[in-house]
Structure 1
């Protein structure tokens, strides 16, 4: 082979390398590309009818579940006075579990938190739901930070960092 043939062959190989390295298959879109920004959560619906010192909780299981544990807690001063883990066990698809929770609310608005964990179709998943209790105080109503609108039209709360003054 002469030098011209080697140079021509090298050039052809260089031109075909990008074609050989590309794939016809499409990659999986990221959540932002697909528009799906929802986190993966346990397939269970959590509803609550909240009163002054008590709530009636209804769980609806959208898939079979084993090793289920439901934990009840409070945020912003709410104290759970009933059993903090009122439900454990296994459930079939479309099962419903109902129970009452007693609590002492915090000052102003506080939150009742219901956490459901378990194994759903072979995968350990959880879901956390929170429910407002009470009316916000004047201090709680003061909005820290600034609200701006994102490119998708959704409001975004911009909060100051601990270092910003």
Structure 2
């Protein structure tokens, strides 16, 4: 190969290198955005709100996108038990900006317990879900005791290391 051909070939390679390295995908997030990307989850475009009053909650759902085949399940965590229907909404459709409300009756657990509202459905052709938890009561002395160890990750975020329930 002569010098002219070599120069032309290397020039063409230099011109095509940026094209070969580019892609249609989004650019890599900056270091400041890394934490948001790593911790955010895709969830159903619905806002879940609950007004708690004693042993009753008034739950309101607001849809930010059209939804079909929507099902809502309510349950309890940390000792809370739901006395009303566990599935107050099933197989229902909503338009964008649609809203629905329902009441949930429950018996709180000891100390602090949680009312859990799970919404699933098809949102613009994708099956999605969203789960919201609402604290009920105040933590007992036992619940206030710390279980696990708190450490700081390399990014400065606090992480709680919990013991395994399969202690041997």
- Shorter chain as denominator, the TM-score bin is 0.7 to 0.9
SS of residue in 1 equivalent to 2:102? strand
Distance 1:121 1:39 in 2: 18
Q: Aligned pair in 2 of structure 1 residues 98, 84: CA closer, same or farther (>3 Å)?
A: same
- Residue 10 of structure 1 corresponds to which residue in structure 2? none
Instruction: Tell me by how many angstroms 1:26 deviates.
Output: 6.5
Superposed structure 1 runs of 4+ greater than 6 Å apart: 30-33
- Residue 132 of structure 1 corresponds to which residue in structure 2? 135
SS of residue in 1 equivalent to 2:143? helix
Q: Aligned pair in 2 of structure 1 residues 163, 67: CA closer, same or farther (>3 Å)?
A: closer
Give the gaps of 5 or more residues in structure 2.
2-8
- Residue 6 of structure 2 corresponds to which residue in structure 1? none
1:91 equivalent in alignment to 2:89: no
Query: For the aligned residues, what is the CA RMSD?
Result: 3.1
- Equivalent residue in structure 2 for 1:158, among 140, 157, 161: 161
Q: Aligned pair in 2 of structure 1 residues 54, 125: CA closer, same or farther (>3 Å)?
A: same
Matched residue pairs, number? 158
Alignment of 1:11-160 (within 5 A): 22-25=20-23, 28=26, 34=33, 35-36=36-37, 37-88=39-90, 89-160=92-163
Distance 1:164 1:28 in 2: 44
Relative to the length of structure 2, the TM-score reads: 0.78
Give the gaps of 5 or more residues in structure 1.
6-12
Relative to the length of structure 1, the TM-score reads: 0.79
